[in-house]
Amino acid sequence: MKRQIPSKKFAAKIIPLALAGLLLSTQPAAAILQKGEAAPPIKLVTTSGQPITLNNYKGYVLVMDFFATWCIPCKESIPHMNALRQKYGKQGLQVLGVSVDEGSDREVRSFIGEKRISYPVAIAGEEMQTDYGLRSIPTVYVINKRGVVAEKFQGFSDQTAKAMEDTIKRLLAE
């Protein structure tokens, strides 16, 4: 019987996912943030040096995208995040990238340039990851104009992209 070896393409997708699961499973257990709950406070500094708190986004719909530079689905979601910002920014949508990468911000800044990310990006420490109950990446929280979690999306696909856009349109209309 001939043994089949998984394709390199498959391995390139599954290995980062397995590593993400391992990384996130070693973090302390946290309560899972639910729809309808107030978004936990944030205090971050963007890679360009701008301080950010959740109050910066009061009155806006906020898409908070937790990602890592080595995560393939995260990379695939970036054009969608850029497009959402472009399409709905003037209607009150803000996008914030939140990197969970450990180490230097130089890698994250380089990634921002390579991927042409058009929205602010900050690096989350373990405390923020715990506060948001982060279990996998990419994870996107859509926060309404009052600072309440309206929706949470894990992973990225055409279906999640459509559901995310539908949620954003509904929240912008409120």
| Per-residue model confidence as pLDDT tens for the chain (174 residues) | 555 555 555 555 555 555 555 455 444 445 678 898 999 999 999 999 999 999 999 999 999 999 999 999 999 999 999 999 999 999 999 999 999 998 778 999 999 999 999 999 999 988 899 899 999 999 999 999 999 999 999 999 999 999 999 999 999 999
Is 135 a domain residue? yes
Look at residue 27 in the predicted model and tell me its pLDDT: 46
Q: What's 70's domain CATH number?
A: 3.40.30.10
Q: Is 114 exposed, middle or buried (0-12, 13-18, 19+ CB in 10 A)?
A: exposed
Tokens of 119: 């929205």
Look at residue 74 in the predicted model and tell me its pLDDT: 96
Is 123 a domain residue? yes
Look at residue 29 in the predicted model and tell me its pLDDT: 47
Is 22 a domain residue? no
Is 111 a domain residue? yes
**Total of domains in the chain:** 1
Domain of 45, in residue numbers: 31-173
Look at residue 98 in the predicted model and tell me its pLDDT: 97
Look at residue 26 in the predicted model and tell me its pLDDT: 46
Is 19 a domain residue? no
Is 130 a domain residue? yes
